[in-house]
């Protein structure tokens, strides 16, 4: 069911307030990827248990499978049923048209990522497309996020360690961040300081000194993509510096698949798969709860929600 423009604007106003609270309170909103309804249930239950504000997010693949309007309706249903403070992020939207569709569906957070579809996109292309989305987002007040570079890796579990020297070549710079924010007018800058999409056999290392320099250079919100596989102490320091949003995907997917595989192995004669999902949901919920704790967001849901 389509939301009214008035309802969308109120939701986006609430989302802006949530991110402002996070920055002021030195914690971060977790942005947790949805693959299906089970992961939405897991995130919702974690948010209830931790009394925390959360984002759920979908990328282009989930958009094609689930549909923007369906996700909007499911999230609104769970918000109403469980009384959680929950917002939706359209993550790595690969085109201006796709980003606009997310805005029209009432998503409160929009990440426009032109380099996702075209790794060779020029900074001028990225800036022009981002500016167009920023202008269109005024329709609802949605928060727009972007960056002038391509994030490496992928939302998967990798067996080969990443090359840290290669990753450093794509790091943000304070000067580049300032120039991009000023050129586009975005609400949130996606910083690259060692965060990388995916789960790897070695832990990730975040350059917190660089993060502080980026924070000093820009006044907008800062997000971190690729939060999976990152030691928790980095998150604790990052939120103190001023990160307000952290994305988690691969850790949830690993918990989902490994637990489901175990359930299938232990229940070879059960074909009603729904009967096997409780432990799967519990495993994903445990991941989400641990991230909420690391982000310092436990107990931070706005009082009127609960």
Instruction: Say if residues 224 and 191 touch (Cβ distance below 8 Å).
Output: yes
Q: With contact defined as beta carbons under 8 Å apart, do 253 and 277 qualify? A: no
With contact defined as beta carbons under 8 Å apart, do 54 and 210 qualify?
no
- Give the contacts of 8 (CB within 8 A, at least 6 positions apart): 106, 140, 141
Catalytic residue among 11, 14, 91, 251: 91
CB 226, CB 197: distance < 8 Å: yes
The reply to whether the predicted model has a pTM over 0.85 is: yes
Q: Count Cα neighbours of 230 within 13 Å in the Cβ-side half-sphere.
A: 30
Q: Return the residue matching tokens 């729904």.
A: 274
Question: Is 76 an annotated catalytic residue?
Answer: no
Q: What is the pLDDT of residue 306?
A: 42
pLDDT tens, position by position, 58-82: 999 999 999 999 999 999 999 999 9
What domains can be seen in the chain, in order of their start residue?
A: 5-294 (3.20.20.70)
User: Rounded distance, CA 111 to CA 249, Å?
Assistant: 15
pLDDT digits (tens, 9 = 90+) for 188-231: 999 999 887 666 666 778 999 999 999 999 999 999 998 888 88
């Amino acid at each position: 069911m389509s939301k009214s423009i008035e309802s969308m604007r109120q939701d986006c106003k609430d989302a802006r307030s949530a991110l402002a609270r996070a920055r002021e309170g030195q914690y971060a909103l977790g942005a947790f990827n949805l693959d299906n309804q089970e992961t939405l249930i897991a995130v919702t239950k974690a948010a209830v248990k931790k009394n925390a504000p959360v984002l759920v997010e979908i990328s282009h693949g989930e958009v094609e499978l689930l549909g923007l309007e369906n996700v909007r309706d499911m999230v609104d249903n769970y918000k109403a049923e469980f009384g959680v403070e929950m917002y939706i992020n359209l993550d790595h939207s690969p085109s201006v048209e796709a980003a606009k569709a997310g805005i029209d569906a009432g998503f409160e957070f929009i990440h426009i990522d032109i380099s996702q579809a075209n790794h060779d996109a020029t900074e001028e292309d990225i800036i022009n497309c981002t500016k167009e989305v920023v202008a269109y987002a005024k329709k609802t007040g949605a928060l727009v996020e972007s960056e002038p570079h391509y994030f490496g890796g992928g939302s998967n579990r990798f067996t080969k360690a990443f090359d840290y020297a290669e990753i450093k070549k794509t790091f943000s710079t304070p000067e580049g961040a300032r120039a991009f924010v000023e050129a586009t007018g975005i609400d949130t800058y996606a910083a690259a300081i060692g965060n990388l999409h995916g789960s790897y056999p070695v832990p990730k290392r975040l350059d917190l000194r660089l993060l502080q320099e980026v924070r000093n250079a820009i006044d907008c919100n800062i997000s971190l993509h690729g939060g999976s596989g990152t030691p928790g102490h980095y998150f604790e320091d990052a939120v103190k510096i001023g990160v307000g949003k952290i994305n988690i995907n691969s850790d949830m997917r690993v918990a989902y698949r490994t637990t489901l595989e175990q359930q299938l192995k232990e229940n070879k004669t059960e074909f009603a798969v729904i009967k096997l999902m409780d432990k799967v949901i519990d495993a994903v919920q445990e991941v989400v709860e641990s991230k909420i704790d690391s982000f310092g967001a436990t107990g931070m849901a706005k009082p009127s929600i609960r």
